[in-house]
Amino acid sequence: MTNLRSACLVLVSLMLRSTAMPADADGQTTASAPDAALAHARALLRSTPLIDGHNDLPWEIRRAKDHPFDVAAYDLRQPTPKHTDLARLETGQVGAQFWSIYVDGEMKDSGYARVQLEEFDIARRMIARYPDRLAPAFTADDIERAFKRHRVGSLLGMEGGHAIENSLGVLRSYYALGARYMTLTHNVTLDWADAALDSARHGGLTEFGKEVVREMNRLGMLVDLSHVSPGTMSDALDVTESPVIFSHSSARALVDHPRNVPDSILARLPKNGGVVMVTFVPSFVSNEFKQWEASGDSTLKQLHAKPDSADARREWEDWKAAHPAPAATLAQVADHIEHIRQVAGVDHVGIGSDFDGVDYTPVGLEDVSKFPELFAELIRRGWSDVDLKKLAGQNLLRALRQAEATAARLQREREPSTKTIAQLDGGKTTS
Tell me 92's DSSP state.
Answer: T
Distance CA 332, CA 116 (A): 34
Q: Is 54 a catalytic residue?
A: yes
Query: Which residue among the candidates 40, 83, 162, 186 is catalytic per the annotation?
Result: 186
Distance CA 234, CA 204 (A): 8
Alpha-carbon separation of residue 13 from 35, 286, 365 (angstroms)? 13, 18, 17
Q: Which of 62, 281, 59 is nearest to 157 (CA)?
A: 59
Query: Which residue among the candidates 165, 224, 235, 354 is catalytic per the annotation?
Result: 354
Q: Is 339 a catalytic residue?
A: no
Query: Which residue among the candidates 40, 54, 257, 348 is catalytic per the annotation?
Result: 54
Q: Is 348 a catalytic residue?
A: no
Query: Which residue among the candidates 56, 60, 165, 194 is catalytic per the annotation?
Result: 56
Distance CA 195, CA 124 (A): 28
Q: Is 90 a catalytic residue?
A: no
Provide the sign of the torsion angle of the four alpha carbons 69, 75, 79, 85, taken in this order. positive
Query: Which residue among the candidates 40, 83, 162, 227 is catalytic per the annotation?
Result: 227
Helices 4-20 and 330-344: crossing angle in degrees, nearest 10, is 110
Q: Which of 274, 276, 273, 272 is nearest to 262 (CA)?
A: 276
Query: Which residue among the candidates 83, 162, 202, 248 is catalytic per the annotation?
Result: 248
Query: Which residue among the candidates 60, 119, 159, 335 is catalytic per the annotation?
Result: 159
Q: Is 385 a catalytic residue?
A: no
Q: Which of 259, 283, 282 is nearest to 362 (CA)?
A: 282
Active site amino acids: 54, 56, 159, 186, 227, 248, 354
